[in-house]
Amino acid sequence: MILNMDETAIQHEYRSSAGISVELGRRKCAEMGWLGEKVKTAGTRAHCTLVAFVCNDNELQRYLPQIFLPGTLKSPLSPADRDAFALLPAPFEYWVGTSGWVTADIVKNLLTRIRRAVHARRPNAKILLLVDAASSHVQNEVLSHANRLHIYLLLVPGGLTWLMQPLDVFVFRQLKAAIREEHRKERTESDTGGIPAGKWITRTGNAVLQVLVNRRWADSFERLGLGNSHDHLTTRLGKYVQSLETVARVRLSDAEMTLMLGRARADVADRLMRGPQALVDAREALAIGPPAPFPAVPVELPRAIAARWLGPPLPPPSPHDRA
């Protein structure tokens, strides 16, 4: 099973798209009797991080967690925001006690959370998680944690998420458009023409439910070469992808990994490849058959070494045994 995880910033308020509104200034609008769009500048500058998940299993998609990370380290949530987050239905989650930035510790918690969510519905699924090459995704502690959980990370090369990552190529643009539309509806229905406290969370939840939770995204993985064939690739990606028959399975060198990440990182190639290599070795061993029996201890080995292999020597036979 293949999943894609990525983060995006969600503004507390969005201005309407071009063509829906014009900027004339408050005084001019008052003179002409026009209704001005009431968007607070502070609202457009305030952000909350959304950690989004999509997968190539259409039936599982609606159960994947969609996680909000409001920055609460410096200031707690307002009562209105706290109540609005608490009312969001599953699979929405909000994690407090973070700065809103995705750190290595948060990535480890995300890996644990997504593994639990997938195995609750697909107990035997092998998880291949597609992520970008952000620094927090490739910390040694994150790679080690992924290996412990048997989650196999597939990295999108630095600077190529616009070409190769489902969330960036297909999802986030639709999500932001849906959020803008939800905000427009809220202002239209509001007596004041603004967005009341906490309502940005409710409206954002509606958009995420519409775009991420209730929509099927398996085709997006096929179109980006993450399926069984390359027959339906996007036009942009198809110009660069070789046929499957010409691609050799090789282990990346440290230099190639540095090129992929856009920066040097000690031992990252070994740590990233350790889990997949163990899986490949296990499959090859299963195909070849059981390993050869453990070799017998050569008689010329010293007694001390032989004892470690075979255990302590047997006691001499008793007279009764000789009889």
pLDDT at 130: 97
pLDDT at 273: 79
DSSP tag of 191: S
Averaged pLDDT for residues 23-41: 60
- Which of the given ranges, 10-19, 102-111, 188-197, has the highest pLDDT on average? 102-111
As separate numbers, helices (DSSP H) first and strands (DSSP E) second, the chain gives 15, 6
Confidence of residue 28 (pLDDT cuts 50, 70, 90): low
Q: What is the C-alpha to C-alpha distance for residues 169 and 163, in angstroms, rounded to an integer?
A: 6
**CB-based contacts of 154, cutoff 8 Å, min separation 6:** 2, 128, 129, 130, 131
**SS3 call for 127:** strand
Residue extents of the structural domains in the chain: 2-246, 254-288
Averaged pLDDT for residues 235-262: 80
Lowest mean pLDDT among 58-72, 114-128, 170-184, 257-271: 257-271
Strand boundaries in the chain, DSSP class E:
2-11, 47-55, 66-69, 92-94, 127-132, 151-156
8 A C-beta contact, residue 282 and residue 178: no
Averaged pLDDT for residues 104-133: 96
Cα–Cα distance list, 62 to 18, 31, 74 (Å): 32, 49, 33
**SS3 call for 230:** coil
8 A C-beta contact, residue 226 and residue 130: yes
Averaged pLDDT for residues 136-162: 92
Confidence of residue 191 (pLDDT cuts 50, 70, 90): confident
* Right CATH for 2-246 from 3.30.420, 1.10.10, 3.20.20, 3.30.160: 3.30.420
Which comes out higher in pLDDT, residue 299 or 135?
135
Averaged pLDDT for residues 11-32: 65
Which comes out higher in pLDDT, residue 44 or 92?
92
| Sign of torsion over alpha carbons 97, 99, 102, 103 | negative
Whether the per-residue pLDDT at 128 is higher than 70: the answer is: yes
8 A C-beta contact, residue 166 and residue 221: yes
Whether the per-residue pLDDT at 34 is higher than 90: the answer is: no
Confidence of residue 260 (pLDDT cuts 50, 70, 90): confident
DSSP tag of 245: G
Whether the per-residue pLDDT at 249 is higher than 50: the answer is: yes
Label the pairing between strands 127-132 and 92-94: unpaired
8 A C-beta contact, residue 171 and residue 146: no
Q: What is the C-alpha to C-alpha distance for residues 207 and 115, in angstroms, rounded to an integer?
A: 25
Whether the per-residue pLDDT at 22 is higher than 80: the answer is: no
8 A C-beta contact, residue 222 and residue 232: yes
pLDDT at 172: 97
**CB-based contacts of 264, cutoff 8 Å, min separation 6:** 254, 258
Per-residue tokens: 146: 């992924």
Confidence of residue 257 (pLDDT cuts 50, 70, 90): confident
Nearest to 43, CA basis, from 13, 73, 66 = 13
Averaged pLDDT for residues 42-53: 84
pLDDT tens digits, one per residue of 279-314: 777 777 777 666 555 444 444 444 444 444 444 454
179: burial class by Cβ within 10 Å (0-12, 13-18, 19+)? buried
Task: List phi, psi (to 5°) of 18.
Answer: -60, 140
pLDDT at 305: 42
**SS3 call for 311:** coil
Nearest to 271, CA basis, from 131, 134, 148, 156 = 148
- Which of the given ranges, 24-28, 211-215, 255-259, has the highest pLDDT on average? 211-215
Cα–Cα distance list, 65 to 101, 117, 156 (Å): 18, 7, 22
Q: What is the C-alpha to C-alpha distance for residues 134 and 93, in angstroms, rounded to an integer?
A: 23
